[in-house]
Amino acid sequence: MLRFIKRLFTWWHDCTIGTQWYTFRAGVLVGADSQGNRYYRAKKEDRRWVIYNGEVEASRVPPEWHAWLHKTVDVTPLESPPKVKDWEKEHRPNLTGSEEAYFPPGSLNRGGKRAKATGDYEPWTP
C-alpha cells in the first residue's frame, strides 16, 4: 500500500502513476542503457523522456543518452554508438552522499589528519 501511495504522489522514488499511464498510452520505447534506465519518445509529438531503474537521479543518465534526451542528436546511441576514446573513463553517476563518495586527504571522513606543511608556507603578519 505504501508503494502505491509513493507512486501516486511522489516522483523521486519511481515514476508516478500518471507518467506510467502516459508512457503506456503515448510512448514508444527506443532503448535502454547499461543501468536499466528506459528511454521513450512520444508517438505523435516531439517529446522524449526517461524512466529510471531505481532511484531518480539525473546524473545516472549517460552522456550519449543525455544528448538524445535534450535533442542535441537525433539518433539514439543504439543506432549510432559513440566512439569511445582510449583515455575516457566509463560513466558513473554522482556518488555524493554514498559510501563511494570522494573524500580528499584531511577530510573528517578519512580520519581528519592532513599532511604536515612542507615549510614553504609563510603566514602573513601585519
> According to the model, what pLDDT value does residue 104 have?
84
User: What percentage of the chain reaches a pLDDT higher than 70?
Assistant: 92
Note the pLDDT tens digit of each residue in 45-62. 889 999 998 888 888 899
Note the pLDDT tens digit of each residue in 88-102. 888 888 888 888 888
- Residue 8: pLDDT above 90? no
Instruction: Determine how many CB atoms are found less than 10 A away from the CB of residue 39.
Output: 22
Block residue for cell numbers 502513476 = 17
Sign of the torsion formed by the C-alpha atoms of 88, 93, 99 and 101: positive
**For the chain, which residues make up each domain, given as ranges?**
2-82+92-110
What are the grid coordinates assigned to 70, written together?
535534450
Q: Which is more confident, 120 or 70? A: 70
Q: Within 13 Å, how many C-alpha atoms sit on residue 109's CB side?
A: 9
CA–CA distance, 103 with 82 (Å, rounded to integer):
31
